[in-house]
Chains A and B, each alone.
Chain A
Amino acid sequence: AQRVTQPEKLLSVFKGAPVELKCNYSYSGSPELFWYVQYSRQRLQLLLRHISRESIKGFTADLNKGETSFHLKKPFAQEEDSAMYYCALRNTDKLIFGTGTRLQVFP
């Protein structure tokens, strides 16, 4: 079955510390993976997708097919990064989301 697992409900770091939000997936075939972010009182928005291999707001994510992972990383966290982060897998025309990780960045 296709599934996305985000093992951490909450991740707390201090400003300037490195951040890694974990995402593991289960999918037969070539996966298409995304990270979505939801800031307080704002709508869910696309942060990045693995096929574009770009860095958005300093975040990067590399698809590791061997470990079936798509972890989100940022070398130096900022307070404005505090938000809810969802990893998602595209299966035909639908997205399968993980349960999300809340990132708290303390000053």
Chain B
Amino acid sequence: DAGVTQSPTHLIKTRGQQVTLRCSPISGHKSVSWYQQVLGQGPQFIFQYYEKEERGRGNFPDRFSARQFPNYSSELNVNALLLGDSALYLCASSFTGDGYTFGSGTRLTVV
């Protein structure tokens, strides 16, 4: 089992651009969550999806959106990038909502 895989691993974007981050959960896991980790802080919850439905949303602006596909993989989209969006974006999957397993993350740098 490859675990939770995220792509790309690193990304550099310009202010105002849009970005799409991808996540493949562990096989059989139907729940995917996204977190943002700014340097020096703990991860902050952005979204949770279960069976393709949004189950939770953190305190992030509407520029952030996500979706989950029939194979349970997920994408996180961020529009109109700001410098402050520079962070490590983590994806986590779980089977029943317990025991989240995290991916290695996508390091996004906005210049």
- A residues at B contact (CB < 8 Å): 4, 6, 36, 43-46, 49, 86, 88, 92-100
B42 touching A45, Cβ below 8 Å? no
The size of the chain B interface, using a CB distance under 8 A, is: 24
Given contacts A43-B104, A45-B102, A46-B101, contact A94 B56 (CB under 8 A): yes
20 residue pairs of the A-B complex, CB under 8 angstroms, read: A36-B102, A43-B104, A44-B43, A45-B101, A49-B99, A86-B42, A92-B56, A93-B31, A93-B48, A93-B55, A93-B56, A94-B33, A94-B58, A95-B35, A95-B100, A97-B42, A98-B42, A99-B40, A99-B41, A100-B42
Known: A93-B50, A95-B33, A97-B44. 6 other contacts (CB 8 A): A43-B105, A44-B90, A46-B99, A93-B97, A94-B58, A95-B35
The docked-state distance in angstroms from the alpha carbon of A19 to that of B18 is: 44
Distance between Cα atoms of A97 and B42 in the complex (Å) = 5
Q: Smallest Cβ distance from A103 to chain B, in angstroms?
A: 15
User: Does B45 interact with chain A (Cβ within 8 Å)?
Assistant: yes
State the CA gap A93–B45 with chains docked (Å). Answer: 10
Q: Is B103 an interface residue (CB 8 A)?
A: yes
Partner of A95, one of B31, B43, B103, B105: B43
B94: nearest chain-A partner, CB-CB:
A93
Contacts of A6 on B, CB cut-off 8 Å?
42
**B91 → A minimal CB distance (Å):** 10
A96 to B40 CA separation, bound complex (whole angstroms)? 15
**Assembly CA distance A36 to B101 (angstroms):** 10
